[in-house]
A and B are shown apart, each in its own frame.
Chain A
């Protein structure tokens, strides 16, 4: 599938390169070199536009590293699930599960808020805002089902929650090694991490939407774009209500 950032081209090229002698691609002057040990090279990925299978979704729920691969590393596959003829309930369930579970470790080590604060910030904001998105889409005649709209929207909270999970060890270390839970630095860093995670979630949604294949792709992308200021504003308010803004 062609995309604006050329990533599918990258992936296609990688497939070709995987059969070639390691390290020849991009080698100046065409010089043949032996390449690094195989253990240092990332393994080839499955097809970029194949829907994520049910067994992969199930395994993702059991293994956080596969969750990262599916949610963050497979925007084309998520888009394929969202574009498929069958309703993407499995994907929706996985994204919801990720949104609820993955940010808990971050909340547990955060110096401000409760264990569920990060989860409430992202998933709660989406739950408040998804109805408006869906109703507007139906109102202006974009024929996208609720589970597809919600599935796409929950990419934001799932990706943000996974970034929170990734940042949790660093935040824990900072809080454990600086001047106690009341120290302002830990809270400031936590807020910064929440912002970065949220923005990465929005970025991930953009990557998924750019790979959607449907008759109304432009309309879907446009409504998501128009909806984004509302989402960000409610997210800002939600952070305030949950005491995360300080």
Chain B
């Protein structure tokens, strides 16, 4: 378990540092701690849910085993993200920053990084699904169902966790962003991740 925790901390710090350069070195340095924290807090919050869903779908699943397996999956995601850190850093350093006229290429950088996270998550889950199915001698459908439940739970809890710990990127027009915005309400009245997603769906 400890090696996987160390991997998550190291690899996700690398990626966090890269995306923080969208704003500058201060946010990047903060992300060295914040991004691993985001993943570890999400994993902690979701551990019991992971165990419950896995117990329903795979007989004999124990809490310790499930936690080890989920940490291994998170470590895979962190490693994949770290492999994209050079690309992300390059984008962060070279994008046209927001100014008084508008957001310029800031939404593009945000979108690309969200896509990176989605692709890495999907790849890691797909690989774990295949291995999990082989190890447990269960059908791939069942293994996929387990990991889909994990993904949904992670998104649900991790989204709010990321919202609470924002900003991970930060616009350069805001010279000194706080370490975490926490429960601060946004200018448009949005106070949590789910409201933000809802608003995004209503007004794409």
Residues of A within 8 A of B (CB): 6-7, 10-11, 13-14, 16-18, 22-27, 35-36, 39-46, 48, 65, 68-69, 72-74, 76, 162-163, 165-170, 173-174, 177-180, 183, 185, 189, 200, 203-204, 207
Contact = CB atoms under 8 A, between A and B. Distances in A.
Contact of B48 (A7, A166, A204): A166
Interface of B: 1, 41, 44-49, 51-53, 55-56, 58-66, 68-69, 72, 130-131, 133-140, 142, 153, 156-157, 160-161, 163-164, 182-183, 185, 191-192, 194-195
Contact of B137 (A26, A39, A162, A167): A26
A179 B137 contact: no
Contacts of B135: 17, 22-23, 35-36, 40-42
A25 B55 contact: no
- The majority secondary structure among interface residues of chain B is helix
- The majority secondary structure among interface residues of chain A is helix
A13 B51 CA distance: 22
Contacts of B134: 23-27
Given A65-B64, A68-B52, A177-B183, 4 more contacts: A10-B139, A26-B130, A42-B136, A72-B56
B125 to A, nearest CB: 15
Contacts, number: 146
A168 B41 CA distance: 14
B192 A185 contact: yes
B62 A69 contact: yes
Given A23-B134, A44-B60, A72-B56, A169 B48 contact: yes
A173 B160 contact: yes
10 contacts: A24-B134, A27-B134, A41-B135, A42-B62, A68-B51, A69-B62, A72-B52, A72-B55, A76-B59, A200-B56
Contacts of B62: 42-43, 65, 69
9 tightest A-B CB contacts, nearest first = A45-B60, A73-B55, A166-B52, A72-B55, A17-B137, A179-B191, A65-B63, A178-B192, A14-B137
A199 B46 CA distance: 19
A7 B136 CA distance: 12
B136 A173 contact: no
A40 B136 CA distance: 11
Contacts of A203: 56
Contact of B49 (A7, A40, A166): A166
